[in-house]
Structure 1
Amino acid sequence: MRELLDFVALDIETTGFDFEKNEIIEIGAARYLKGEQKETFSVFVKPLNPVPKFIKQLTRITDQQLAGGDKISDALIKLLEFVGTDLIVCHNTSFDIGFLNAKYLANGFTKLSNRTLDTLDLSRIYLPFITNHKLGTVAEYFQVDLSNAHRAFYDAIATAEILVKLLDFINENIPLKLNHRLLDIASSARNTLGLAGFLELIVDHQKKFALLTKQKPKIHFHNRNYIEHKPEITENVTIEDVFGESGLFAKEFEHYEMRQGQIDMADAILEQYLRDEFLLVEAGTGVGKSLAYLVPSIIYSNQNDNKKIIISTNTKNLQEQLFYKDLPTVSNCVNLPFKATLLKGRRNYVCQKKWLEAAMDMDKLFAPSELRALMNLIVWKEFTKTGDISENSSFNTTRDAGVWKKVSSDSFMCGGRRCPHYKQCYLMDVRKKAEDSNLVIINHHLMLADMTTDFATLGEYEHLIIDEAHNLPQLAQIELGMTISYPDFNNFFNSLFTGKKKYQYGILINLKTAAVKSDFPKKEDFLKKIDEAIKIIDENRDTFADFFRKTREVVEKKGSYGKLRITNMDDHYFLTDYLSQIINFWKDFSRAMLPLYDILSNVNKQKFIEHSQHLESLERIQQKIAETYTNLISLHNPNLENYAFWMETFQVQDENYPSGVLCYCPLNVNDIFNSLLYDRMKSVIFTSATIAIRDKFKYFANRMGLDQREDGFVKELVVQSPFDYSKQALVLVAGFLPAPKDRFFASQSLELIRQSVEISKAGTMVLFTAYKNLNEVYDSLYDEFYAKDISLLAQGKGIGRSAMLKEFRKHRSSVLLGTNSFWEGVDVPGESLELLVLHKLPFLVPSEPIVEAYLEKLNAEGKDSFMHYMLPNALLKYRQGFGRLIRNKTDKGVVLVLDNRILTKRYGRFFKDTIPAKTVIPATELEIYDHLAKWFRN
């Protein structure tokens, strides 16, 4: 099939990503006719400004080569002559063609207007199973030589070879029906002219040779959600047998080091299982806490009728590490049988029913702007075995949330066992596996959701491990509360009824169609009630839009940082008025819908088309109506003493969109955990690297309601890190700087960061508590660091978290600026991170609605809200930040704290005491520079 396409592959090298500020330094291209290379083009471009050192290192382009290069205007003319009117192929067309066209316009030329084809797009469509879609990764998959990567000429050749091999891959693996569907979607999507032409060629070819082509697809997704370990010989083992100096791990791993703390933790967990008690355990970095709870869990489950143990984590990274790394480690060493399931919330799985409905009504359900993202699901859906979207590297569920919502599982649309696609359901399949597993790995979101729905997802269980437990109190406040917004109501209404006369669809329209074709008593009344319900929806949609638009306007006018707390309903008459209107509508809507269920439930199943499915749909609607009504009443008469209530907005391009949101969350979750979770558990183990304060668990126990359990029921254990912090780390506190609120703090702390980076020449991470401060530092340092060949990476500056960390690890002298999410869960061992700068002490923002409300509640109870809440929370966060620096026994580094409150405030000593490394208080900037110079010189 490769002979179908004639094209020019094109690539450029630049001094950066900014079309206006940065320059092109090399252009490479290759002409291919019928799949064979026929002609090439290569030119260096002489830049007007010096090229950064790291760009020269990356591209291996020398100053001599650039000095002999063409002027940009001459290079652009030559390229235009070479390309002609041919199809242009790039890997990331928007960058290459966008950059070139910016330079064409800047030099007085017209833009390139050729049809284009993007191998990045094609990779995302056809290769959703590879790790990522960078040129190097795709080249490696197709075994295309890219040893001279980051040179325009060689990258252009690689792009061409990828396209040729991709054509062979499509012909061998992708059936005609999928390509035909992709063509249908591309024909309706925006900006897909070149892609649609490409797909048309493929479809025409496959139609011609359909009888001659026998495909044996070789597409495999390596992710799995189930492990069944069946050793040939089963042995009863003890904790010592596994972790001891001559134990199973020691025999398997050449450089294994026994850690007594790990053994102590594993012993304690096994004991708590046997005694049916709760355990709080802090395991310092390097203890190996994951294996310390996995091994005793498997031992206990084996010895006790394969009892199910739930393991919950806060982050997806740890969840997948446990399942794909740690459990295989255990199974390789320990001859105990076990089954384990990786289970996620339902919205992570594609719904078979919704997928088929989307296929039938694609043009109705998806806007042209959404169709391009939909294409990245087609091949994945055909070959996935799990239906878990996380295995699809091509699809971004955050950016394309609207598309995913239309095809993913949700509780409202789920018919459960009555769904006609039940036997093919990915979610039900993984849940069945979980029912029969020894270990089920989940996250906190699913644990909390299941807890509030009477264990509907996980079923009955009695043993629970909560890792990364320090996050749970704050997460639970949000998850156990509620938010309502315009999309919630609009999506619900659309699922019932949407469209105009010729193109109506939804549950009520399907019900009406079935009723018209059926013969049953009260048919006319039934149809009349459907029309009444549709009319009520139609007449009231605007009320919801107006309400959430007004909410947005109020927040923008009176709020702070996009939020406005409600402390008195009398201050917000519009809220009371609109909620009253909506509640009245909800009552009318409920009265219209209830007779439909009553009539249909009394109809003979044989007399109504797909009776069971329609009855089940009406049942779900009634449940949704009742649940929403309860929520609306709670908001109309809020309990402001025990709940935080606030309005906020979400970002959206359309300024007129009703983007207001109402949030309502409990201030205390302790009673909720006791009644909904603890009373049903025999043992719960809470663990984290930072869960205690000065080796005491009082703060966490109070927040989580564990202090309400009987004395002695909740055991405690602190396992110290095996690292020698006195030798591996040094903490410097810049006590001479002004206080963070001082107007001179910003400039003086900036200068200290600048000089410290230059003196240390080390990989540096600067952690901030606010984006505002991060942006100020980034804007002030970018040009200077660029000129000095220091790579400056910053959160929120166009590069994702994982890509930024990968880049940071790659270049030893990089500087990374991060906010909240970088204070924890970031693992950068070795020389990539040797200087950690903490910009301010990580106190919660007191004006944040839920924080402010909780502080007021504590004060009203006669408690010192700062000592009870603000300080303990900051100390745990501070320890999390410090934990980014030392990740193994060979790591060394310096922590530089810019906040002088450690010295000037009475509470400062708690911050000094909570870190195990030596703390030094230099008197001047020069002393800090001297300490840094000595440390990094040694």
Structure 2
Amino acid sequence: MRKDVIFLNIEKTVLEGKDEEIFEFTALRIHDGQLPESCCFFVCQEQPYNPEAYSIILPQDSIGVLSLPEYRQKIRDFFDDAVLVSHCDASYLRILERALNAPFPNIAWDTTELARIFFPSLHHYQLPYLAEELRLSGEGELNIHPSEQKVHLIWKLFEACRNKGLGFDLSFFDQAQAFLAGWSGKSFFDDLRREIIRQFPDRRIQTDLVLSPSPEGLFAQSQNSDQKIPDSLKWISESFSEGGILEQSLPGYECRPGQTKMAQLIAEGFISAHHVVIEAGTGTGKSFAYLIPSLWFARKTGRKVVVATHTIPLQEQLQKKDIPMLAKVLPFSFRTSVLKGKGNYCCLKRWLSCLTNPQEIAGQDQKLAVLSTLVWLRETRTGDIQELSKVPGLMSIWPDLSADNELCNPGKCSKSGVCFLLRARKKAEEADVLIVNHSLLFSDLKTDYNVLPEYHHLVLDEAHQVYQTALQNLGSELCFEVLTRTLETIYRQSGANFYTTTKLRLESFRFTAPVVSWDIFAQRLDNIPELCLNVLTQGKELFQLLEAILGLERTFRFVSRHTSLSWWSPLLVQFENLIGRLKSLVAVMQSLTSVLNGEEADEVEELSYVINTHQRELQEIQDTLALAINIADPRQVTWLERSSRLYLKTSPLEVSDILKEKIFSRLDTVILTSATLSIANSFNHFLQDIGLPLTTKTAAVDSPFNFDAQMQFFVLNKGLNAVHSDEEKVDVLSELILNVAERMQGRTLVLFTAHKLLRETYADLKPRLTKLNIDTLAQGIQGERTTLLETFKRNPKSVLLGANSFWEGIDIPGETLSCVILVKLPFWPPSLPLIEARSEFLKAQGRDPFREFLLPEAVIRFKQGFGRLIRSKEDRGFVILLDDRVIGKYYGRYFLSSLPIRTHFRADDRQLFQKISDWKFRELM
């Protein structure tokens, strides 16, 4: 570095006897890698925005208290002609500038941004996490003053980013250059480039894609065809028994009768070709219980087994933990693979288009996300976005980088040799056990089995989600942004598109395939611009009308009585006009294909493929509109839903017949398992929902945990149900959480059923918990689920507020989570379009929607939320339910009898707090 670098940290702190805001400032000045000087002081702000009201308290009060203006020159001299480097401290740096009444002209770099770029696969970028993952801390820093430890970590993080950058060839910096303009970190990249040229003048410049070398062959796992696969079914149970291969090979493994029983039932299902439903309590070890029989059966018979999970964390656990463990244990080799939807994989052809058209990337966050991707592609072997940290800006550019593109034709792509999607599909074809998610499984059904390789044996884990996933994936949806993107790939006034590209290639086509009537083709092609603009104009009018109908609501369901309202006729006209204009465009596409029929030249075949793909996309939109307008069909529902944008959605109301036809009748064996499938010891609701006969083989495998000894379950008498106004609910709930969290020192998860109540509770609770030095984390406010969970695990002195997606799929063993508060019984709001429509459908058949639908769904979700607490034999703690309907209503017994405990306590808040205090005291004894 030509300049000195100052690493600094400014953060709020508390000094004894001081009530006003105190900011702790620490800085190190580095010259040629050495530390010639440092400074540390506290900035005390007595009155906002008045420079004369600031004072400095030096460490240990060695000099006493000085007014900040008296110290201004020394600080400015310390900063003179140096680069300022901080970690997410830009806002606090402004505070210091304001206090000094002097802006800093220095170049400033943020190690948060640098770490996101140079280490793009980390979960998040909080400094303690980075220090652990990158091993930045050293023993010599233990004696450093606490105020300087964080700054030393920033220094080391900066050096880690710089050292990694020094290993890149100059093509990296050439490709990055177009995305650096306007960013303060540009000078960091410029400095790195100069240093590489100086230190490594002979380093070659790579002109093509720079990717991680592929592992030898398609599989890291070898497979020996000469291996003898155990013949006897008895081998399965012996593997799990005392003295079996698992106990011999895995330290700490304990034989669990439930796991052995489950594995035996699954193996019998595979051999005898029948379906099996198994509820496996928490701690059963169900992944091993189905993986070992699946791997054994696949290798013994040569028949592929597909394992489908609902959540990504479970998929990751199988891929990165369980399967590598079994590869070392089992007496035979095997091949496994994970296949995900096209949208998960980076398309290298589209990536190159991004690099050559940087002007299409708008916004600083998006540009920095491109730089993160540039580094990641040099390291990834899968091209799977799940490896890539969800940095700001990434998800907005990913649709333009992913392989989820109807024009994608990997077999004929110039990058097919290194295509991530093609590689994943090839591995899927050759795998003995293929791991997918529920959504991809249903995409395969929807496309008549054109997504997954052929299989006849299926394991459905997290099977309690199958019905809802089927509803979501077998329905249709459309938003104006998707319509626009589809049309703009066909024609737009600027940028690459089908029409412009084809026009430019016409002369080449004439030369390659002179027998084709290219003049006729060109005449028909020239109809496309006007037709595309007509469709877009009509689509815009339709969605403007839909916006007006939705108003300020989040959802709006279309029903038959709406046909008599004043807006229905104009809406019907808009639908019919858009469908008509789409038909005209589809007809032109068909006419283009007819001109090309019979010509076998590669370029013409590729053109036909592109046209057919566009035609199929347009037809799907047309089909969605036709479904949506048919609101008289009692077996389906149409509604509007606003999230990040407005969606028009349709869904079937019953999927049992579809599942029966597409899955259970077609496959030899389907194993369905989850921790929550039965209700009051009965599987009937689940079996009827998914289309299986009541005679299907079922089993409940108890958890090995002693829930009555490990936890206490409290039902709060006169909880939130006794409170009527929303404002009172927030007050009561905040007060209760505050008292519990204070006694538990954080370590608490609060599960809500309504986002509105969650947000209001967070606003009221956060400042009160902050005074107790307890962090408050909230879904939808401070980041996505994975980031919140990682933050919670790293700081147990936290309270985490979560809604629907936090009721399941969360695994936080140990003392980090010691208390779960369930705000209400998790009934779905009856006004949700799907819930309302299905309830009406059941009622029309003379059935009771509450008993047959709403209650069973709530019990299953309740069991999931309850199960967040005890995840291992060492876990201890409380589950607190604030909804006393479980006691006062007749249906409460279904909730209580579905839990793995024999006793529960009913208490008011005073008794509850005393119980917690007594229990915590006993735990400490």
- Give TM-score, length-normalised by structure 2: 0.89
- Residue 406 (structure 2) pairs with residue 412 (structure 1): yes
What are the Cα deviations for residues 901-936 of structure 1, in whole angstroms up to 9, with x where unaligned?
112211112222222224445354333333333333
1:914 is paired with a residue of what secondary structure?
Answer: coil
Range with bigger deviation, 900-909 or 21-30: 21-30
* Structure-2 separation of matches of 1:91 and 1:638: 54
Range with bigger deviation, 809-818 or 243-252: 809-818
What are the Cα deviations for residues 819-843 of structure 1, in whole angstroms up to 9, with x where unaligned?
1122111122222222221111111
1:280 Cα deviation (Å)?
A: 0.6
**Residue type at the aligned position of 1:262:** Q
* Structure-2 separation of matches of 1:414 and 1:195: 35
Match of 1:54 in 2: none
* Structure-2 separation of matches of 1:224 and 1:701: 43
* Structure-1 separation of matches of 2:802 and 2:91: 29
**Residue type at the aligned position of 1:627:** E
For the Cα contact (< 8 Å) 2:478–2:621, is it kept in 1?
no
What are the Cα deviations for residues 477-536 of structure 1, in whole angstroms up to 9, with x where unaligned?
111111100111111122122234xxx421221111000344345333322322210122
700, 706, 728: which one aligns with 2:692 = 706
- Residue 504 (structure 2) pairs with residue 513 (structure 1): yes
Cα 1:152–1:813 shift into 2, 3 Å: closer
> What does 1:522-537 correspond to in 2, within 5 Å?
522-537=517-532
> What does 1:365-384 correspond to in 2, within 5 Å?
370-384=366-380
For the Cα contact (< 8 Å) 2:21–2:45, is it kept in 1?
yes
- Residue 151 (structure 2) pairs with residue 153 (structure 1): no
* Structure-2 separation of matches of 1:565 and 1:719: 43
* Structure-1 separation of matches of 2:892 and 2:684: 20
2:179 is paired with a residue of what secondary structure?
Answer: helix
- Residue 752 (structure 2) pairs with residue 768 (structure 1): yes
Cα 1:75–1:487 shift into 2, 3 Å: farther
Match of 1:52 in 2: none
Match of 1:27 in 2: 25
Across the aligned residues of Structure 1 and Structure 2, the Cα RMSD in angstroms comes to 3.2
1:182 Cα deviation (Å)?
A: 0.3
Match of 2:186 in 1: 196
* Structure-2 separation of matches of 1:351 and 1:387: 8
Structure 1: gaps (5+ residues)? 50-60, 652-658
- Residue 833 (structure 2) pairs with residue 849 (structure 1): yes
620, 635, 641: which one aligns with 1:642 = 635
1:255 is paired with a residue of what secondary structure?
Answer: coil
What are the Cα deviations for residues 755-799 of structure 1, in whole angstroms up to 9, with x where unaligned?
333445562222111122222322232222221223332222324
> What does 1:305-344 correspond to in 2, within 5 Å?
306-344=302-340
* Structure-2 separation of matches of 1:850 and 1:488: 23
For the Cα contact (< 8 Å) 2:58–2:65, is it kept in 1?
no
**Residue type at the aligned position of 1:525:** I
Match of 1:109 in 2: 101
Range with bigger deviation, 362-371 or 486-495: 362-371
- Residue 699 (structure 2) pairs with residue 717 (structure 1): yes
- Residue 576 (structure 2) pairs with residue 580 (structure 1): yes
1:186 is paired with a residue of what secondary structure?
Answer: coil
2:637 is paired with a residue of what secondary structure?
Answer: strand
423, 447, 451: which one aligns with 1:453 = 447
* Structure-1 separation of matches of 2:29 and 2:796: 39
Match of 2:52 in 1: none
> What does 1:67-86 correspond to in 2, within 5 Å?
78-86=74-82
For the Cα contact (< 8 Å) 2:212–2:378, is it kept in 1?
no
Match of 2:54 in 1: none
Cα 1:787–1:883 shift into 2, 3 Å: same
818, 821, 834: which one aligns with 1:834 = 818
What are the Cα deviations for residues 222-272 of structure 1, in whole angstroms up to 9, with x where unaligned?
999955254796562712331111111111234322110100000000000
Cα 1:884–1:163 shift into 2, 3 Å: closer
**Residue type at the aligned position of 1:116:** A
For the Cα contact (< 8 Å) 1:47–1:66, is it kept in 2?
no
Match of 2:769 in 1: 785
- Residue 678 (structure 2) pairs with residue 685 (structure 1): no
1:564 Cα deviation (Å)?
A: 4.6
**Residue type at the aligned position of 2:525:** I
1:208 Cα deviation (Å)?
A: 6.5
**Residue type at the aligned position of 1:123:** A
Match of 1:475 in 2: 469
* Structure-2 separation of matches of 1:819 and 1:447: 26
* Structure-2 separation of matches of 1:72 and 1:551: 58
**Residue type at the aligned position of 1:516:** E
* Structure-2 separation of matches of 1:280 and 1:516: 62
* Structure-2 separation of matches of 1:462 and 1:100: 62
Range with bigger deviation, 676-685 or 525-534: 525-534
* Structure-1 separation of matches of 2:625 and 2:20: 53
Match of 2:246 in 1: 249
Structure 2: gaps (5+ residues)? 48-56
* Structure-1 separation of matches of 2:119 and 2:655: 44
- Residue 893 (structure 2) pairs with residue 896 (structure 1): no
Cα 1:137–1:807 shift into 2, 3 Å: closer
Range with bigger deviation, 830-839 or 441-450: 830-839
* Structure-2 separation of matches of 1:678 and 1:639: 30
Cα 1:395–1:307 shift into 2, 3 Å: farther
- Residue 112 (structure 2) pairs with residue 120 (structure 1): yes
Cα 1:518–1:282 shift into 2, 3 Å: closer
- Residue 292 (structure 2) pairs with residue 295 (structure 1): yes
**Residue type at the aligned position of 2:793:** R
For the Cα contact (< 8 Å) 2:22–2:43, is it kept in 1?
yes
- Give TM-score, length-normalised by structure 1: 0.88
Match of 1:388 in 2: 384
* Structure-2 separation of matches of 1:527 and 1:367: 38
1:641 is paired with a residue of what secondary structure?
Answer: coil
Match of 2:718 in 1: 736
What are the Cα deviations for residues 185-242 of structure 1, in whole angstroms up to 9, with x where unaligned?
213xxx41x3223323344555567652369999789999955254796562712331
- Residue 853 (structure 2) pairs with residue 869 (structure 1): yes
**Residue type at the aligned position of 2:191:** L
Cα 1:371–1:385 shift into 2, 3 Å: same
> What does 1:551-630 correspond to in 2, within 5 Å?
551-557=546-552, 559=553, 561-568=554-561, 570=563, 571=565, 572-602=568-598, 605=601, 610-630=603-623
1:837 is paired with a residue of what secondary structure?
Answer: strand
* Structure-2 separation of matches of 1:450 and 1:22: 61
**Residue type at the aligned position of 1:716:** T
* Structure-2 separation of matches of 1:316 and 1:472: 15
For the Cα contact (< 8 Å) 1:823–1:884, is it kept in 2?
yes
Match of 1:58 in 2: none
805, 811, 819: which one aligns with 1:821 = 805
* Structure-1 separation of matches of 2:266 and 2:294: 8
1:65 Cα deviation (Å)?
A: 6.5
For the Cα contact (< 8 Å) 1:234–1:337, is it kept in 2?
no
Match of 1:56 in 2: none
What are the Cα deviations for residues 389-418 of structure 1, in whole angstroms up to 9, with x where unaligned?
22223646xx53331111110241211423
For the Cα contact (< 8 Å) 2:3–2:82, is it kept in 1?
no
